[in-house]
Amino acid sequence: MNTELLGVIVMFLGTLLLALPLGKYIAKVYAGEHVWTDLIFGPVEKMFFKVSHIDVRREMTWQQHLVAMLTINLIWFLWAMFCLVNQNWLPLNPDHIAAQTPDQAFNTAISFLVNCNLQHYSGESGASYFTQVYGLMFLQFVSAGTGMAAAAVVFNALRERTTDKLGNFYNYFLKSCTRILLPICIVIATVHIFEGTPMTFKGMDTMVTMQGDTVHVSRGPVAPFVAIKHLGTNGGGFFGANSAHPLENPSYLTNMVQMIAQVLIPFAMVFAMGFYLRRKKLAWVIWSVMTIGFLALVIPTINAEVHGNPEISKMGISQPLGNMEGKEVRFGARASAYWSIATTVISTGSVNSMHDSFMPLSGMNMLLGMMVNSFYGGVGVGFLNFYVYLILAVFIGGLMVGRTPEFLGKKVEAKEMKIAMIVALLHPFLILAGTAIASHLAAHDTPMGWWMMGADGKPLHATAWLNNPRYHGFSEMLYEYTSASANNGSGFEGLGDNNPFWNISTGIILILSRFVPIIGPVAIAGLLAGKKYIPESAGTLKPDTATFGLLILAVKIIIAALAFFPALALGPIAEWLSL
């Protein structure tokens, strides 16, 4: 069998095999049961809570959870802004990197806070080691912890009882970081260090090449950063080229580890829900729906990349490795194509090859992954997004059988539906409105003034942000807003996005598309938890069946297709037809 394909299959099955025991472990952690890590981290957490005056026995309502979450997120934002605009004089800056401009710092701080990592800078020249470790890597831990804590609140609310007490936010948050993220990160970082990823605080090195050129080589504390970047589905690279960089991802082994790491917790959270609620069958139904969606995107993408670029075939050379523009030889086209879809269906957004140079239909599949945003989805939030679709499917299913819609013994009524609809419609609204404004400006080649200036300080025209003409240029803008709204962070990186226009517009989208899809599902779950529990009867719509799974899939496809097909037709589909 083809070794490249075998590598991909093992990455997928390996993730599943690891996610099952991890899911069980996560369920135990959130249920407060005894686990082996109590011995190591138990005392540390106790000390943290004592110093912070936090009583973890105080159970919170869903509103109190949200207040605590938003408060601590605000503090993190201010800390990140402080790091970014002061990095020039703060310690650990051996490469003498300048401070980020306020609009760029705003975009960077927001995008790491919301687990997106859009990165309108390059790590080599735009962030000091202090910023990378104390600002950005810190946010990579805690933003993942926030998403997981929100999912834990929803798990708690789905239990078969009537209550408004849904556990303690700080407890869920800290344990997500200490019990789940940190131990696995230590393992991942260790593998990377021994495979050649740097872990040093010495700055850039200078070497004279064999031909006699003098070259500077950026290094840094990369290994620990790469570990949490993937495990927490953050995706922000230490270097500009992200995981395509031969120091950030030096071998096929590290590529497999990074790939498994980023999909691991999104898988495990689904199984964790199954163990936590003792509804394993429901977990498998949800996982299967997600997997069908994932495979429907990944298989055609691998196929398109393996067949290479028809425009290059016309030149008469051979493409035995497939479409290699923007890809690395040590990974090959198959592992790169698999990564491109995995990183977009979950909200990682790290890349091991340049998405801008993929075939048009591959680009469309990446866009679809982010547009649906819950075929697995990011740590914690992927489950929350799926939960919104689930509520919509329950409602539609209820109408079809002619009964009041119920989910796990709770009546779904008008208030919950309104929240679910707002969350479901916000995502296409932000993407399409943003893309419409940007394409209007580009189509008229509007002078941008302060909103976009060249290196010489002169204002530029809107088309200057495009790196490719025609349909592909449109795709670049569509991709940027889709990535922002999905909190993904990957990009068609040709887009010239480090200017106030893109920094500010995507920054605003990032805030909305992070917090509304967390607040919404937590509110729905909280409202449902307070309702009377109705035991299952013969007329109950059973959620843990294949039929209901298909219904969820249909709801997703209808929403995504109706909302996004016109935009996709103008970008990737038009480009594909023109090849």
Partner 1 sequence: MRKEFLPSLLLTVLCILFFSGFYPLLMWGVAQLAPNKGEGFVVSQNDKVYYKNIAQNFTGDKYFWPRPSAVAYNAAGSGGSNKGPSNPDYLASVEARIDTFLVHNQGVKRSEISSDMVTASGSGLDPDISVASAMLQVQRVAHARQISAEDVKQIVNKVKQGPLLSIFGPGKVNVLELNIKLDQIKQ
Residues 207-266 close enough to bind partner 1 by CB under 8 A: 207-211, 213, 215-219, 221, 223-224, 239-241, 244-247, 250-253, 255-256
> What phi and psi, each to the nearest 5 degrees, are found at residue 87?
-65, -20
Work out which of 34, 318, 402, 455 binds partner 1, going by CB under 8 A. 318
> What phi and psi, each to the nearest 5 degrees, are found at residue 351?
-130, 145
Select 186 or 443, whichever has its Cβ closest to partner 1. 186
DSSP 358-384: S-HHHHHHHHHHHHH--SS-STTHHHH
Q: What angle do CA 255, 195, 197 make, to 5 degrees?
A: 85
CB of 155 to partner 1, least distance (A): 22
- If one asks whether residue 138 binds partner 1 (CB under 8 A), the answer comes out as yes
- If one asks whether residue 497 binds partner 1 (CB under 8 A), the answer comes out as no
| CA dist., res. 270 & res. 376, Å (int) | 8
Work out which of 438, 493, 503, 521 binds partner 1, going by CB under 8 A. 493
CB of 562 to partner 1, least distance (A): 27
- If one asks whether residue 10 binds partner 1 (CB under 8 A), the answer comes out as yes
DSSP H helices, 32-161, are 38-51, 62-86, 102-113, 123-126, 129-130, 138-157
CB of 172 to partner 1, least distance (A): 13
Select 182 or 508, whichever has its Cβ closest to partner 1. 182
Contact 572, 367 (CB under 8 A): yes
Closest to 340 in 3D by CA, of 268, 264, 259: 259
Site for partner 1 in 40-99 (CB under 8 A): 44, 48-49, 51-54, 67-68, 70-72, 75-76, 79
Work out which of 202, 278, 440, 542 binds partner 1, going by CB under 8 A. 202
Site for partner 1 in 470-489 (CB under 8 A): 470-472, 475
CB of 137 to partner 1, least distance (A): 6
Select 359 or 486, whichever has its Cβ closest to partner 1. 359
Select 354 or 527, whichever has its Cβ closest to partner 1. 354
CB of 5 to partner 1, least distance (A): 10
- If one asks whether residue 352 binds partner 1 (CB under 8 A), the answer comes out as yes
CB of 312 to partner 1, least distance (A): 6
Which one of 152-160, 397-405, 490-498, 524-532 is the stretch in contact with partner 1 (CB under 8 A)?
A: 490-498
CB of 449 to partner 1, least distance (A): 26
Residue 336, CA distances (Å) to 65, 85, 234, 526 in order:
39, 35, 18, 40
Select 208 or 538, whichever has its Cβ closest to partner 1. 208
Distance of CA 77 to the CA centre of its chain: 18
Site for partner 1 in 368-427 (CB under 8 A): none
Contact 188, 261 (CB under 8 A): yes
Residue 15, CA distances (Å) to 263, 382, 442 in order:
7, 16, 42
CB of 7 to partner 1, least distance (A): 4
Contact 60, 68 (CB under 8 A): yes
Which one of 29-37, 170-178, 411-419, 443-451 is the stretch in contact with partner 1 (CB under 8 A)?
A: 170-178
CB of 345 to partner 1, least distance (A): 20
Identify residue 466 by its one-letter amino acid code: L
CB of 410 to partner 1, least distance (A): 28
Select 75 or 538, whichever has its Cβ closest to partner 1. 75
Select 163 or 251, whichever has its Cβ closest to partner 1. 251
Contact 381, 151 (CB under 8 A): yes
Which one of 268-276, 370-378, 385-393, 462-470 is the stretch in contact with partner 1 (CB under 8 A)?
A: 462-470
Q: How many CB atoms lie within 10 A of CB 538?
A: 4
| CA dist., res. 235 & res. 350, Å (int) | 4
Pair type for strands 205-208 and 406-407: unpaired
Assigned token pair, 279? 């509804």
Sequence-distant (6+) residues with CB within 8 A of 467 are: 356, 473, 476, 492, 494, 495, 496
Assigned token pair, 464? 């200057």
- If one asks whether residue 293 binds partner 1 (CB under 8 A), the answer comes out as no
Select 416 or 497, whichever has its Cβ closest to partner 1. 497
